[in-house]
């Protein structure tokens, strides 16, 4: 076979082909290293003695819908210069792998248009081979994200499986890139991250988190100069949860069946933004429900006014609005609302810190949604490291693998 074809088609440069067989669906090329190219794998000396050889089958890229096998005669070499006895080095394969580097690249390219299963079926290789090739590629490109310029981060957790298996992710809020994936959702999930941050010499300016005590203490301990910003979507969500509890309490206390029915159907009306309810019939219904139950009505108006905290012209004004809100919640004498007022007081500085840094964990919600679809496509990702690498590569749409 033409040496330049051997090189351009299969990336084989130092070998020559002595014969080709066509068996079944395979083109089998018998190749061996040219005599003048043989050298010691250790010291590169040409003063060598050949001491036996073995054949090794190596997959390469298919040609004409047929599999390509490079049947390589691998020389055992005895070096007269350094004395080592070794097999010759094969430049187009990495280590003991059964496929060429060019084949691995072909798998990577195909992985952008098909799932692991598709690619494995198409190339007649195992699912694990395709996955391993993807994994090595992901490790090389995304395994060690650059951290030295990291300044604004968001931390959030997500459920890996049903039950209580969690992972913690850290995202660069400027690029939307996931820069770290940790085990669990306790403070120790972030230990490795801080180690990497110190090593990279990064100075974190602000961190957006939910109200997780574990994340908070971890940030305070490891980045004491960073400003903690409590994500306002999480706070609004907590308020919504409180309001829904009030609705359920009202429902259970109500003895009039007709009124119960009204309360039951108002959940989404209570939780959506009041100004978004245009429909007169819906408005009516909401008002009826609120009139039935005083705690529910108090809760509803507190929920509606909560977002004003993030709509002020400056931090001082916001501080006043927040304290006023807390006062009203306490005055309500509704236990659930008073409890929420305490939460707001405890997290006051982190809530108001939004005026110093307009950051939130919103980007992480998007990432979480992507992870959810990924989990469904890949049967749960039994290989944890592979799953982690897939998450680290999520931001890179140009190189995304299917599945
Ligand atoms: Zn040598």
Q: How far is the CA of 44 from the centre of ligand 1 (A)?
A: 6
Q: How far is the CA of 249 from the centre of ligand 1 (A)?
A: 83
The residues near 144 (Cβ < 8 Å, ≥ 6 apart) are none
Q: How far is the CA of 77 from the centre of ligand 1 (A)?
A: 9
- Helices (H) and strands (E) in the chain — how many of each? 16, 10
**Closest C-alpha among 310, 307, 311, 262 to residue 287:** 262
Q: How far is the CA of 96 from the centre of ligand 1 (A)?
A: 21
Strands 15-23 and 26-33: antiparallel
Q: How far is the CA of 79 from the centre of ligand 1 (A)?
A: 5
Q: If you write DSSP's letter for every residue of 349-387 in order, what string do you get? A: HHHHGGGTS---SHHHHHHHHHHHHHHHHTTT-S-HHHH
127 in Cβ contact with 117 (< 8 Å)? yes
Structure confidence at residue 211 (pLDDT): 83
Which tokens is 230 given? 């409590």
100 in Cβ contact with 107 (< 8 Å)? no
Q: How far is the CA of 220 from the centre of ligand 1 (A)?
A: 56
DSSP state at residue 265: T
Q: How far is the CA of 190 from the centre of ligand 1 (A)?
A: 47
* Mean pLDDT score of the chain: 90
Q: How far is the CA of 81 from the centre of ligand 1 (A)?
A: 5
**CA–CA distances in Å: residue 196 to residues 201, 223, 388:** 9, 13, 16
Round to whole Å and give the CA distance between 341 and 351: 13
Q: How far is the CA of 30 from the centre of ligand 1 (A)?
A: 26
pLDDT digits (tens, 9 = 90+) for 221-245: 999 999 999 988 889 999 999 999 9
The residues near 160 (Cβ < 8 Å, ≥ 6 apart) are 166, 167, 375, 387
Q: How far is the CA of 280 from the centre of ligand 1 (A)?
A: 89
Structure confidence at residue 308 (pLDDT): 93
Q: How far is the CA of 18 from the centre of ligand 1 (A)?
A: 27
Structure confidence at residue 40 (pLDDT): 95
**CA–CA distances in Å: residue 40 to residues 77, 234, 330:** 7, 63, 82
Q: How far is the CA of 50 from the centre of ligand 1 (A)?
A: 13
Round to whole Å and give the CA distance between 76 and 306: 77
Q: How far is the CA of 74 from the centre of ligand 1 (A)?
A: 17
Q: List beta partners, residue 99.
A: 59
Q: How far is the CA of 93 from the centre of ligand 1 (A)?
A: 21
Q: How far is the CA of 39 from the centre of ligand 1 (A)?
A: 8
Structure confidence at residue 403 (pLDDT): 66
Q: How far is the CA of 58 from the centre of ligand 1 (A)?
A: 26
Structure confidence at residue 381 (pLDDT): 64
Q: How far is the CA of 46 from the centre of ligand 1 (A)?
A: 8
Q: How far is the CA of 87 from the centre of ligand 1 (A)?
A: 11
Q: What is the mean pLDDT of each run of 10 residues along the chain (403 residues)?
A: 88 94 95 94 94 95 94 96 94 94 95 91 94 94 94 91 82 94 91 96 94 90 94 90 91 85 81 80 83 87 92 95 96 94 93 94 86 69 84 80 71
pLDDT digits (tens, 9 = 90+) for 254-305: 888 888 888 887 888 888 787 787 788 888 888 888 888 888 889 999 999 9
Structure confidence at residue 233 (pLDDT): 87
Q: How far is the CA of 82 from the centre of ligand 1 (A)?
A: 4
Q: How far is the CA of 85 from the centre of ligand 1 (A)?
A: 8
Q: How far is the CA of 75 from the centre of ligand 1 (A)?
A: 14
Q: How far is the CA of 88 from the centre of ligand 1 (A)?
A: 11
Q: How far is the CA of 48 from the centre of ligand 1 (A)?
A: 8
Q: How far is the CA of 163 from the centre of ligand 1 (A)?
A: 57
| pTM (two decimals) | 0.80
**Closest C-alpha among 135, 93, 94 to residue 111:** 135
Beta strand spans in 249-359 (E): none
Q: Could you give the angle at which helices 257-264 and 232-253 cross, rounded to 10 degrees?
A: 170
């Amino acid at each position: 076979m033409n040496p330049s074809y051997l090189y351009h088609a299969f990336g084989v440069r130092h070998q020559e082909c002595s014969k080709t067989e066509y068996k079944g669906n395979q083109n089998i090329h018998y190749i061996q290293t040219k005599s003048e190219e043989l050298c010691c794998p250790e010291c590169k000396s040409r003063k060598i003695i050949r001491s036996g050889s073995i054949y090794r089958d190596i997959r390469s890229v298919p040609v004409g819908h047929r599999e390509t096998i490079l049947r390589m005669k691998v020389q055992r070499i005895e070096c007269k210069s350094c004395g080592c006895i070794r097999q010759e080095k094969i430049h187009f394969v990495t280590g003991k792998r059964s496929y060429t580097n060019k084949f691995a690249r072909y798998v990577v390219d195909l992985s952008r248009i098909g799932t692991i299963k598709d690619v494995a079926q198409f190339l007649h290789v195992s699912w694990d081979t395709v996955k391993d090739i993807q994994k090595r590629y992901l490790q090389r490109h995304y395994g060690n994200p650059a951290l030295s310029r990291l300044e604004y981060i968001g931390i959030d957790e997500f459920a890996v499986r049903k039950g209580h298996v969690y992972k913690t992710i850290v995202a660069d809020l400027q690029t939307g890139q996931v820069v770290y994936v940790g085990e669990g959702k306790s403070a120790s999930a972030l230990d490795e991250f801080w180690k990497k941050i110190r090593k990279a010499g990064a100075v974190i300016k602000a961190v957006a988190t939910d109200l997780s005590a574990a994340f908070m203490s971890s940030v305070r301990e490891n980045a004491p100069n960073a400003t903690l910003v409590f994500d306002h979507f999480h706070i609004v969500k907590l308020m919504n949860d409180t309001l829904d509890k009030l609705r359920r309490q009202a429902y259970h206390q109500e003895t009039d069946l007709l009124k119960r029915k009204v309360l039951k159907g108002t959940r989404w009306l209570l939780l959506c933004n009041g100004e978004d309810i245009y429909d007169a019939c819906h408005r009516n219904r909401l008002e009826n429900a609120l009139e039935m139950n005083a705690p529910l009505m108090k809760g509803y108006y507190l929920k509606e006014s909560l977002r004003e905290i993030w709509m002020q012209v400056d931090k001082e004004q916001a501080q006043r609005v927040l304290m006023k809100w807390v006062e009203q919640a306490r005055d309500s004498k509704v236990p659930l609302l008073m409890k929420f007022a305490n939460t707001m007081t405890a997290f006051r500085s982190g809530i108001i810190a939004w005026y110093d840094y307009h950051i939130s964990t919103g980007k992480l919600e998007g990432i979480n949604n992507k992870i959810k679809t990924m989990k469904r496509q890949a049967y749960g990702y039994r290989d944890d490291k592979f799953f982690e690498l897939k998450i680290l590569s999520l931001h890179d749409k140009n190189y995304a693998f299917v599945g």
